[in-house]
Structure 1
């Protein structure tokens, strides 16, 4: 019979197993996407494996990215924290945290976006995919540019505003609940797409993807 002390030394693999399962699911989904050659799928995976590259694209096209990605971008010197005052509405006078590109970030972004459309269908496919959602909250909140937060204020999207975090503290902004608010919809964001950070006229969606909520749903299933 195995000694109890030996059991304590048995490897605990659930973290590794979860990482492997997530990677296998990612690769399987890329493989199912029609119209890509084997080489194109490898290139897609290489681009998307790089959180810096994808984070730059998300901030450029959507004006928002996960807090985790924002911290990586800041660590690489590509974005910096900033603040602005709200000028109208029931949050008028409050100072909100946002992010902005540094000069190095803009230089990197220029290189990232130098090939689009027919020049590089592989990268163009990623741009279209990123333009099909607004932001992915991985459970710890998001960071957003001033222009995206201003749209959220305009359409009273307290869901997005409640997720927005300071890039300095990593904490969400403590905003009071509105007296009357119906919230905002994905359709509201689509209608305001021209006011996002780069006036993307090829936007396909604007959903906020909450991975923590997906975890809750899987537990209830």
Structure 2
């Protein structure tokens, strides 16, 4: 029988193996995208490997990004926490946490979006992909702009509101049960896109993707 001390010294590789498997799956999915040349695949991967770049684009196009990306953007001086008062509805009078770009963030965003369409088809492909969902919750909640939260209030989307966190404390907003709960659908968000998205009219979806769901991946119906 192997000595317990020897077992303690054996490498535990599940974290490394999980990271490698996730990366391989990511690269394999990019490789299957029709119309991508080998160079395009490399360029798309390079853009998406940059969490600062992706977080900027998600907030600009969708009004929300993961809490993790929010922290990175704040650490880079591109994003800051903010608050606003709810003026109507069940939550009238409450102060909610949101995020907003700093001047440096707006400058960086301008550079990020300076090449579009035929000027940079790889970036344009990513913009279209980002516009196919609303936000990806990686297990620790999300951060959202005031515009996105105001739309969530308007359509009574407690799912998104319950995921929104303070960029300062990381705590989600403690919201009382709704007086009425009709819920919100992806179609509701699509209809309200002009109020939270700074993209064009090319939005393809608005699902909340929950990577921490027990079934591996679930999205709101």
Query: Normalising by structure 1, what TM-score?
Result: 0.96
Q: Please show how residues 106-185 of structure 1 align to structure 2 within 5 Å.
A: 106-185=106-185
Q: CA RMSD in A?
A: 2.4
* 1:93-145 C-alpha deviation (Å, 9 max, x unpaired): 10000000000000000000000001100000000000000000001100000
Q: Please show how residues 1-221 of structure 1 align to structure 2 within 5 Å.
A: 1-198=1-198, 200-213=200-213, 215=215
Counterpart Cα distance in 1 of 2:8 and 2:76:
39
Contact 2:58–2:130, Cα closer than 8 Å, also in 1: yes
Contact 2:162–2:175, Cα closer than 8 Å, also in 1: yes
Change (3 A) 1:110 1:199: closer
Change (3 A) 1:190 1:88: same
Contact 1:145–1:197, Cα closer than 8 Å, also in 2: no
* 1:91 positional shift: 0.5
* 1:219 positional shift: 16
Q: Which ranges of 4 or more aligned residues in structure 1 deviate by more than 3 Å?
A: 214-221
Change (3 A) 1:176 1:112: same
Change (3 A) 1:95 1:109: same
Pick which of 205-214 and 129-138 moved more. Answer: 205-214
Counterpart Cα distance in 2 of 1:199 and 1:40:
23
Query: Normalising by structure 2, what TM-score?
Result: 0.96
Q: How many residues align?
A: 221
Unaligned runs of 5+ in 1: none
Contact 1:193–1:200, Cα closer than 8 Å, also in 2: no
Change (3 A) 1:150 1:217: closer
SS at match of 1:212: coil
* 1:200 positional shift: 3.4
Counterpart Cα distance in 2 of 1:79 and 1:19:
28
* 1:162 positional shift: 0.3
* 1:166-200 C-alpha deviation (Å, 9 max, x unpaired): 00000000011102111100000001011114153
Counterpart Cα distance in 2 of 1:215 and 1:30:
23
Counterpart Cα distance in 1 of 2:100 and 2:219:
37
Counterpart Cα distance in 2 of 1:128 and 1:122:
10
Change (3 A) 1:176 1:200: farther
Counterpart Cα distance in 1 of 2:220 and 2:4:
34
